[in-house]
Amino acid sequence: MDKLGNPKNTIEILNKYKFVFQKKFGQNFLIDTHVLEKIVNAAEITKDDFVLEIGPGIGTLTQYLCERAGKVVAVEIDKMLIPILEETLAAYDNVRVLNEDILKVDLVSLIKEENNNRPIKVVANLPYYITTPIIMDLFEKHIPLSGITIMIQKEVADRIRAIPGSKDYGALSLVVQYYAKPYIAANVPPNCFMPRPKVGSAVICLTPHKKPPYDVKDESLLFSLIRASFNQRRKTLVNGIYNYEGLSFSKDLILEALTASGLAKDIRGESLSLEQFINIANYLSEKS
Ligand code: SAM
């Protein structure tokens, strides 16, 4: 089997299996060898690595991963792709393909069984319709991770690495930056995929912090505060928190927390840094 990753070989295998693209699964296959090299280089994969690939498609990126990694587990939802993967990955004995929905896989058990609970690398050209739930799942389930290298929409990549006060800054920036340091390794235009997506893409690396950058007393309160603050962007932080379902602090206590953190009473969530959110969360959790 020739290596995939160029339009000719991709079309050949798709025709052979009469494959029909499923829009609902976000299927945009990579057909550019430079981009594939960039992804595996950015992920810094070695034979010591266990790699989880989400959505292998016809196995294009998977072939590169199998060559560099010790072991690869690839989770693909579309059963029509499984016989194709059997053919395109036949040359590799270090890969296991699971025909599952990634959002339903028990990743904690999988990593325990397959990698003795040692940290894994996640590398993927993600299905864009579930980018945020996939990233949140990886972090919030506290899966042992040594790195995440993923192709996502450019617009989401910009939101992830946004800084306070910028138009892209929001709950996603804060939650991801709480867990990891983002870095954009490449911008990728639509013509590198088949079919072409309507949006620009970017390869983003998320390097998990070795230890939490701040001391947080109650993580779930912190994330609720962040979500509350960006739920209604035009509201002040006080009203955002006060009106958020699931939080029941008095206005006076919220104002007290702002003052204790040196913040103005009419401040909005979009201008607060992660550290300032943590100060407010820690104050509220101590006082309640
Ligand atoms: N890795 C391939 C490549 O780069 O050419 C395909 C990437 S394509 C953008 C996304 C892949 O994710 C598709 O193969 C799609 O069927 C698969 N997928 C979509 N939703 C999924 C889910 N919930 N769980 C697992 N795989 C999924």
- Which CATH number fits the domain that encloses residue 171? 3.40.50.150
pLDDT for res 1: 55
How far does the centroid of ligand 1 lie from the alpha carbon of residue 77, in Å?
7
Q: Is residue 267 part of a domain?
A: yes
- pLDDT per position as a tens digit, 161-195: 999 999 999 999 999 999 999 999 999 999 999 99
Amino acid letter at 13? I
Q: Is residue 245 part of a domain?
A: yes
User: 192 and 85, same structural domain?
Assistant: yes
Cβ(125) – ligand 1 distance below 6 Å: yes
How far does the centroid of ligand 1 lie from the alpha carbon of residue 25, in Å?
7
Q: Which residues pair with 64 in a beta bridge?
A: none
Q: How many CB atoms are closer than 10 A to CB 39?
A: 25
Residues 6 or more apart whose Cβ sits within 8 Å of residue 243: 228, 232, 235
H or E element in which residue 183 lies: strand 180-188
- Are 285 and 254 in contact, with CB atoms under 8 Å apart? no
Which residue, judged by its Cα, is nearest atom 20 of ligand 1? 25
Q: How many residues does the chain have?
A: 288
Rounded CA separation 49/148 (Å): 12
User: 259 and 186, same structural domain?
Assistant: no
Which residue, judged by its Cα, is nearest atom 11 of ligand 1? 55
- ipTM comes to 0.99
How far does the centroid of ligand 1 lie from the alpha carbon of residue 171, in Å?
25
Please state the φ and ψ torsions of residue 194, each to the nearest 5 degrees.
Answer: -130, 120
Rounded CA separation 266/254 (Å): 11
Which residue, judged by its Cα, is nearest atom 22 of ligand 1? 101
User: 133 and 159, same structural domain?
Assistant: yes
Q: Which residues are annotated as a binding site?
A: 28, 30, 55, 76, 101, 125
Please state the φ and ψ torsions of residue 152, each to the nearest 5 degrees.
Answer: -140, 175
Please give the mean pLDDT across all residues of the chain: 95
Ligand 1 atom nearest to 53, measured from its CA: 1
**DSSP H helices in 151-218:** 154-160, 171-179
Q: What does 206-263 look like in DSSP terms, one character per residue?
A: EEE-SS-SS--S-HHHHHHHHHHHHHSTTS-HHHHHHH-TT----HHHHHHHHHHTT-
The count of domains in the chain is 2
The percent of residues above 90 in pLDDT, for the chain, comes to 91
Cβ(201) – ligand 1 distance below 6 Å: no
Q: Does position 285 have pLDDT exceeding 60, yes or no?
A: yes
pLDDT for res 183: 97
- Domain span holding position 57: 7-208
Q: Which of 39, 78, 134 to mutate to test the pocket of ligand 1 (most atoms within 8 A of CB)?
A: 78
User: 146 and 278, same structural domain?
Assistant: no
The two tokens of residue 186 are 């490449």
How far does the centroid of ligand 1 lie from the alpha carbon of residue 105, in Å?
14
User: 163 and 262, same structural domain?
Assistant: no
User: 176 and 42, same structural domain?
Assistant: yes
Q: Is residue 214 part of a domain?
A: no
Residues 6 or more apart whose Cβ sits within 8 Å of residue 106: none
The two tokens of residue 20 are 């029909």
- pLDDT per position as a tens digit, 123-147: 999 999 999 999 999 998 889 999 9
Task: Pick the closest to residue 175 from 225, 210, 130 (CA basis).
Answer: 225
Please state the φ and ψ torsions of residue 263, each to the nearest 5 degrees.
Answer: -110, 150
